[in-house]
Amino acid sequence: MQDIKKRRSTGQITLFDVAKHAGVGAMTVSRALRTPERVSDKLRQKIQLSVQTLGYKPNVAASLLASASDNQVIAVVTDQIYDNSTHILLNTLQIQLAKQGYTTLIIEACHYYHRESQLLETLYNHNLKAIVLFYINNDALINQVIDNKAVPIINIGQQIDELDNAHIGLDDSLAMYVLTEHVIKKGYRHIGLLCANQQYQLFQQRLHGWHKAMLAYHLPTHRIINAAKPANFTTGSELLPDMLLNWPELDALICTTDELACGVLYECQRRHIRVPYQLAVSGFGNNEFSQVSFPTLTTVALPSKQIGQYTAAMLLNRLNKQLECAKPDLSTLVPVIQSRASL
Amino acid sequence: MQDIKKRRSTGQITLFDVAKHAGVGAMTVSRALRTPERVSDKLRQKIQLSVQTLGYKPNVAASLLASASDNQVIAVVTDQIYDNSTHILLNTLQIQLAKQGYTTLIIEACHYYHRESQLLETLYNHNLKAIVLFYINNDALINQVIDNKAVPIINIGQQIDELDNAHIGLDDSLAMYVLTEHVIKKGYRHIGLLCANQQYQLFQQRLHGWHKAMLAYHLPTHRIINAAKPANFTTGSELLPDMLLNWPELDALICTTDELACGVLYECQRRHIRVPYQLAVSGFGNNEFSQVSFPTLTTVALPSKQIGQYTAAMLLNRLNKQLECAKPDLSTLVPVIQSRASL
DNA sequence: ATTAACTTTGATAGCGCTATCACATTTCTA
DNA sequence: TAGAAATGTGATAGCGCTATCAAAGTTAAT
């Protein structure tokens, strides 16, 4: 057994302590913890017991330094967790990556006004293995990420020229187009759009989808309120009067989120507007409450789960070239309309 | 200058490379980066130039290992970022901590269903300096955090016995007691309780607060449904019929979350039950939608904004061991009832 | 000029762990 | 049965950085 040299003694319980306690070499302890199958059952059990007894906690800094191996951390940076489908997407992504041993840090950049660079610096310093940009439109942040050539990037949402080969475009525009077409085919002609959080590209896309569909069917595209307010229930309630005032002929109202739509539904009740007879309403996102609201809410959603899986596959593919990743069938990534009572 | 020994060469640009390039010792480079004031202007500038030229990035693992110093990372783990005020609150906390050189990772545990332990393991492995539990009611997660004695904890939200000395906020039981008392004083006598997610201690406490108040006023405490379902809109809608069937005399219904309560409101509309005349309803949490629902929802909430403001001070206090920190004025930390149309 | 005090710099020796290889042990092949 | 192959184990030597202290340089005071 190797001699245990004099040590600065930080008070920490080290591998050597465990090795001494178990009467084995330090290397064997290291193996017992990292690659148990390469250690005999007898020693492994003895070592496990010593680890338990001494309460040994590995020092990851030392491990990283010695093995020069990367950390198994992937960061997802997003502007904000907007809605239900986003939540599902990220959750799916996280679960898929976890299956391969990665830990995903989902970080909302909006909590870090003007400090995103510090945040990224910290993440980079911890050797994160990849970074996923999710609907990020903060140029400073994007540039910083691009400048760091060492870390693979996946960009979801808006197109960024430098990241063209690592781009996943979630077609919210298409989903909204399909929904609007659905509304039109139901016979509605005076269709308005209620959009909040207009600064976010995600919502700009939804707006654009509505616009495109209305143009395609030669319907007027001016019945639109595009507010900088948060896309929540309150805003939906607050903005409905403006819509009705400006366009009394409105027979259908499409909202860019389910929250807005449910806020509208509440306001309709207060004003004794019968939905869908006097005004049809639809949302976007298929949130949990949309199936029990009164009336229940017609909504559309992208197949977030599949997109999450697709993203995970793409990411794992880039990280681990030899790993066989089943590529999801892109043709299944189509928006799904939930047709309910409100429309 | 020391001799540069043979190195395994991981391809990384090291301090030694910078030192050689700048014609100084490695230690001087280390100082120039970590404690610039201890290096002469001339050398510091020369070193800075070399760092730029070579694109040197420090290896945090090595730094941590050598200095045995902690990382300057604080994690805030929250169940969900509910609304704008919570968002501002966390952002403020983050900025306060950043002023002291800490980087705050705000992490929503809801993205990590059943994988919170892996998440925390990763965080611990990076020697995070402290952990803030923000309205966490996941017992497994809480226990894991408590088990790790090494990392200071601040617990915001529900009372956890083991974290008594690091707790900010109020007993949810008290808030529910106050709310129930409010309902009783309004004249209601047949008051039921609707609780979901019964496995969470948070909801047990709310249930207990109702129970205590009912006993105190000599009212029957059997009108209660305590389900293991999620505390969402759908569950509220689904459970209302059971309540009405079992206790037709019910004149008020307290729900342990606003989501449940709004689900109940939806079901009342479907059944043409007039709120609050036939049945009064109240929630818990003062969620965003409660102020615009139809009817608007009476609810109770803890003063999360103040709680958040105190957190930064308390946390810095614990980390810096400065005892003269301004102690939070506990008298302001009382539950606030939002009295609205539903009751 | 000389001593004392302070400032600046660098060689050394690890921090706790793992890659590597040598050696010991067991199992398999001919 | 000898020899080859596979398996298990441990001593050594760093990973890239910083604590430490000694040495050199600088300034202040006698």
What residue ranges do the domains of chain A occupy?
15-67, 73-170+306-333, 172-301
What are the CA-CA distances from residue B251 to residues B193, B271, B343 (Å)?
11, 15, 10
- pLDDT tens for B193-246 read 999 988 777 788 899 999 999 999 999 999 999 999 988 999 999 999 999 999
CB A281 within 8 A of CB A264: yes
Q: Quick one: DSSP state of residue A298?
A: B
- pLDDT tens for A239-282 read 999 999 999 999 999 999 999 999 999 999 999 999 999 999 99
Residue B49 has pLDDT above 50, yes or no: yes
User: Given this model, what pLDDT does residue B326 score?
Assistant: 55
Over chain A, what is the mean pLDDT? 86
Place of tokens 């449910």: A262
Q: Which of A240-244, B63-67, B148-152 has the lowest mean pLDDT?
A: B148-152
Q: B218 beta carbon < 7 A from strand D?
A: no
* Closest CA relative to residue A153, chosen from A303, A311, A322, A304: A311
- Domain A73-170+306-333 shares a fold with domain A172-301: yes
Distance in angstroms (rounded) separating the CA atoms of residues A128 and A64? 12
Task: Please name the CATH architecture into which domain A172-301 falls.
Answer: 3-Layer(aba) Sandwich (3.40)
Sign of the Cα torsion A243, A248, A253, A258 reads: positive
For an interface test with B, give the residue of A112, A113, A240, A291 to mutate (most B CBs within 10 A): A112
pLDDT category at B331 given cuts 50, 70, 90 is low
Q: Please, what's the largest Cα pairwise distance for chain B?
A: 90
Residue A198 has pLDDT above 90, yes or no: no
**B window 258-277: Cβ near strand D (< 7 A):** none
Average pLDDT for A44-72: 83
Average pLDDT for B128-140: 81
- Read off φ and ψ for residue B289, nearest 5 degrees: -70, -15
Distance in angstroms (rounded) separating the CA atoms of residues A244 and B103? 47
CATH class held by domain A73-170+306-333: alpha beta
Judged by CB atoms closer than 8 Å, whether chains meet at A106 and B108 is answered as: yes
pLDDT category at B257 given cuts 50, 70, 90 is very high
- Read off φ and ψ for residue B57, nearest 5 degrees: -120, 125
Q: B222 beta carbon < 7 A from strand D?
A: no
State whether residue B9 sits within 8 Å of chain A by CB.
no
Average pLDDT for A162-189: 89
End-to-end CA distance of chain B: 80
In the stretch 28-87 of chain A, residues with CB closer than 8 A to chain B read 57-62, 64-65, 68, 72-73, 81, 87
Nearest CA in chain A to B11: A68
Residue A225 has pLDDT above 80, yes or no: yes
**B15-67 CATH choice from 1.10.260.40, 2.40.10.120, 1.10.3720.10, 1.10.10.10:** 1.10.260.40
Residue A57 has pLDDT above 90, yes or no: no
Report which of residues B168 and B278 the model is more confident about. Answer: B278
* Closest CA relative to residue A231, chosen from A220, A223, A239: A239
* Closest CA relative to residue A147, chosen from A139, A156, A159, A136: A139
C-alpha distance from A25 to closest chain B C-alpha (Å): 22
Average pLDDT for A9-26: 86
Query: Which nucleotide minimizes the distance between its C1' and the CA of B2?
Result: C11
pLDDT category at B183 given cuts 50, 70, 90 is very high
Tokens of B262: 């709004």
User: Given this model, what pLDDT does residue A324 score?
Assistant: 53
Residues of chain B contacting residue A108, judged by C-beta atoms under 8 Å apart: 81, 106, 108
Judged by CB atoms closer than 8 Å, whether chains meet at B106 and A103 is answered as: no
Q: Which of A291-295, B29-33, B92-96 has the highest mean pLDDT?
A: A291-295
| Interhelix angle A139-147/A116-125, nearest 10 degrees | 20
Burial call B155-171: b when 16+ CB within 10 Å, e when fewer: bbbbbbeebeebbbbbb
Helix (H) or strand (E) holding A52: helix A41-54
pLDDT category at B63 given cuts 50, 70, 90 is confident
Over chain B, what is the mean pLDDT? 84
Distance in angstroms (rounded) separating the CA atoms of residues B73 and B334? 31
pLDDT category at B323 given cuts 50, 70, 90 is very low
Residues of chain B contacting residue A233, judged by C-beta atoms under 8 Å apart: 288-289, 292-293
Residue A322 has pLDDT above 60, yes or no: no
Average pLDDT for A289-315: 92
CB atoms within 10 A of CB A160: 19
> In 3-state terms, chain A is what percent helix, strand and coil (to 5)?
50, 15, 40
Tokens of A255: 């909202």
Judged by CB atoms closer than 8 Å, whether chains meet at B60 and A61 is answered as: yes
Judged by CB atoms closer than 8 Å, whether chains meet at A289 and B263 is answered as: yes
C-alpha distance from B262 to closest chain A C-alpha (Å): 9
Helix (H) or strand (E) holding A196: none
Query: Which positions ≥6 away from B245 have C-beta within 8 Å?
Result: none
Average pLDDT for A32-59: 89
Report which of residues B87 and A95 the model is more confident about. Answer: A95
Residue A332 has pLDDT above 80, yes or no: no
Report which of residues B19 and B78 the model is more confident about. Answer: B19
User: Given this model, what pLDDT does residue B97 score?
Assistant: 81
CB A131 within 8 A of CB A160: no
Residue A34 has pLDDT above 80, yes or no: yes
C-alpha distance from A99 to closest chain B C-alpha (Å): 11
**Rg (chain B; Cα; Å):** 27
User: Given this model, what pLDDT does residue B4 score?
Assistant: 47
State whether residue B10 sits within 8 Å of chain A by CB.
yes
Q: Which of A293-302, A311-320, B195-204 has the highest mean pLDDT?
A: A293-302
Burial call A256-274: b when 16+ CB within 10 Å, e when fewer: bbbbbbbbbbbbbbeeebe
Residue A220 has pLDDT above 80, yes or no: yes
CB-nearest partner of B119 from A103, A233, A294? A103
CB B334 within 8 A of CB B307: no
User: Given this model, what pLDDT does residue A189 score?
Assistant: 96
Q: Does domain B73-170+304-334 have CATH number 3.40.50.2300?
A: yes
What is the percent of chain A with per-residue pLDDT over 90, rounded to a whole number?
A: 46
Average pLDDT for A9-21: 84
C-alpha distance from A61 to closest chain B C-alpha (Å): 4
User: Given this model, what pLDDT does residue B324 score?
Assistant: 47
User: Given this model, what pLDDT does residue A191 score?
Assistant: 98
Judged by CB atoms closer than 8 Å, whether chains meet at B83 and A232 is answered as: yes
C1' (D4) to CA (A34) span, angstroms: 30
User: Given this model, what pLDDT does residue B80 score?
Assistant: 65
In the stretch 87-116 of chain A, residues with CB closer than 8 A to chain B read 87, 90-91, 94-95, 98, 103-108, 110-113, 115
User: Given this model, what pLDDT does residue A280 score?
Assistant: 98
In the stretch 121-150 of chain B, residues with CB closer than 8 A to chain A read 121-122, 125-127, 150
In the stretch 262-321 of chain A, residues with CB closer than 8 A to chain B read 262-263, 265-267, 269-270, 288-289, 291-294
State whether residue B163 sits within 8 Å of chain A by CB.
no
Residues of chain A contacting residue B267, judged by C-beta atoms under 8 Å apart: 292
Report which of residues A111 and B273 the model is more confident about. Answer: B273
